[in-house]
Amino acid sequence: MGTVQRRSGRFRHAARRALLAVALVAACLGISLTTTGTAQAASTHMCSSTPVPAGWVVTEAYTNQSICRPYIYYRISNDFYNGMHMCSATAVPAGWVVTEAYTNQGICGPYIYYRITSNLQNGMHMCSATAVPAGWIVTEAYTNQGICGPYVYYRIVRA
């Protein structure tokens, strides 16, 4: 009986060492050994010659002759937060509304600059660039080019 326990102990020790060696090599190569997890928020850049990946928005758009000629240079992000800005080159994420919209060629080039939020509050203002969320109604509507540019400026409340 002692021989069997000694052999299984050696086997477990060897297996542990082999697993540790694989993990060490994977870590050195930057390979993740996890099978599930959430996607990490990121920001990167790309040229407008290819579609923006699903779940990402354009946050900056420039004509950059040295990098993307003749296309537009995009900075893109999948890290959304209340009050962030994005460019109209991509759709506003589902569940988010535009609270400001105007031309800002320094940030969005030929596109409209949007400020967005998912934090809806009674009596807040939004721009008609996005649909009024389900369960909310418009109580005021007027033009305010200083805040909503070419869109209608709404005050919304819960229905």
For each successive 10 residues of the chain (159 residues), what is the average pLDDT?
51 47 38 44 91 96 84 95 97 97 91 97 97 97 92 96
Say whether the peptide bond before residue 93 is cis (omega within 30 degrees of 0). Answer: no
pLDDT of residue 98: 98
At 145 the pLDDT is 86
Give the pLDDT score at 21.
41
**What CA–CA distances, in Å, run from 138 to 22, 49, 154, 155?**
59, 38, 6, 6
- Residue 58: what are its φ and ψ, rounded to 5°? -80, 125
Residue closest to 158 by CA, chosen among 133, 139, 137, 128: 137
Which H/E stretch holds residue 136?
A: strand 136-143
pLDDT at position 144, please?
87
pLDDT score of 130: 97
